[in-house]
Copies of this chain bind each other. A is one copy, B any other.
Amino acid sequence: MTKKDQSEKRVCSVSHRGCVSMVPIFNHLDTLQMEEIMETVQAHSFKRGELIYRAGDTSDVLTIVNKGSLRIYRLSESGKEQLVRVLKPGEFTGELALFNETVHENYAEAMEATSVCQITRASLQKLLIKYPSISLKILQALSSRLDESEQQAAQFSTESTEQRLASYLADLLVEDDQSAIVTLPLTKKDLASYIGTTPETVSRKLKELEEMQLIRRISSSKIEILDEEKLLFL
């Protein structure tokens, strides 16, 4: 084994660690148990813009983000995109892989250079039998995700675009942080997709919120929240 091979193996092992020790569904296990899981995952790397999976692809692995981020989105018949969620390190997708082999309804795309780990359905099922507590963690994650999805659908149906944008901005404020400056984690284009509108409308609504003195735009990605309460009760 050349020095390069040895180096890659070590790097590979290190990269697996991020898929287990920092992942809520696994990191409650003890060290030996986590190492056992590290043995079963396969690492993959993607460049920005590459697809991890597309709608119609077979769904038979659980994918966990190790480094970078993934945008999960759906497309309508006419090609319109709805950004469902963004996955950060430690988060997973492909949970349908737990059950029958099915196909993805969503697309998963790397937003930046991203490395992931994948576990096949067979391996995952063995893990769940051996460590039932993992199921509870996955359940917890799915429950939260379901609640967020239902909230998103309800907001689309019952609130104006301005209200949805205002809610989004207010949610970016960190609970314990005194600072009222938020950093947009998404481009305006992705933000538009996430709250169910167009980039032009996001631009117009941000301008209006500024004119109403509820926010102040600092840069293209930083915004100061001037009146959080009014934002929440538009």
The smallest beta-carbon distance between A199 and chain B, in angstroms, is: 14
Question: Are A143 and B74 neighbours in the complex by a CB distance under 8 Å?
Answer: no
Q: Counting CB contacts under 8 A, is A22 at the interface?
A: no
The smallest beta-carbon distance between A53 and chain B, in angstroms, is: 14
Indicate which residue in B75, B77, B99, B147 contacts A140 across the interface (CB closer than 8 Å): B99
Main secondary structure of the interface of A (DSSP, over half): helix
Q: Counting CB contacts under 8 A, is A96 at the interface?
A: yes
**Residues 152-188 (chain A) with a chain B CB within 8 angstroms:** 152-159, 163
Q: Counting CB contacts under 8 A, is A78 at the interface?
A: yes
Question: Are B140 and A142 neighbours in the complex by a CB distance under 8 Å?
Answer: no
Q: Which of chain B's residues have a CB closer than 8 A to the CB of A158?
A: 74-76, 78, 80-82, 196
What string of 1s and 0s marks CB contacts (under 8 Å) between A94-135 and chain B?
Answer: 011011000001100000000000000000000011001001
Question: Are B84 and A139 neighbours in the complex by a CB distance under 8 Å?
Answer: no
Question: Are A150 and B96 neighbours in the complex by a CB distance under 8 Å?
Answer: no
Indicate which residue in B75, B81, B96, B157 contacts A147 across the interface (CB closer than 8 Å): B96
Give the interface centre of A81, A106, A145, A158 by most chain B CB atoms within 10 Å: A158
Copy total for this chain? 2
Indicate which residue in B77, B80, B140 contacts A98 across the interface (CB closer than 8 Å): B140
Q: Which of chain B's residues have a CB closer than 8 A to the CB of A145?
A: 146
**Residues 195-211 (chain A) with a chain B CB within 8 angstroms:** 196
Identify 27 residue pairs between A and B in the complex whose beta-carbon atoms are under 8 Å apart, listed by A's number.
Answer: A74-B158, A76-B155, A80-B158, A82-B153, A82-B154, A84-B150, A84-B153, A95-B139, A95-B143, A95-B146, A96-B147, A98-B136, A98-B140, A99-B140, A99-B143, A105-B147, A105-B150, A105-B151, A129-B132, A135-B139, A139-B142, A142-B146, A149-B149, A149-B153, A152-B153, A153-B153, A156-B157
The smallest beta-carbon distance between A81 and chain B, in angstroms, is: 7
The smallest beta-carbon distance between A3 and chain B, in angstroms, is: 45
Q: Which of chain B's residues have a CB closer than 8 A to the CB of A96?
A: 143, 147
- Report, nearest first, the 6 A-B pairs whose CB atoms are least far apart: A157-B196, A132-B132, A156-B156, A76-B158, A80-B158, A153-B153
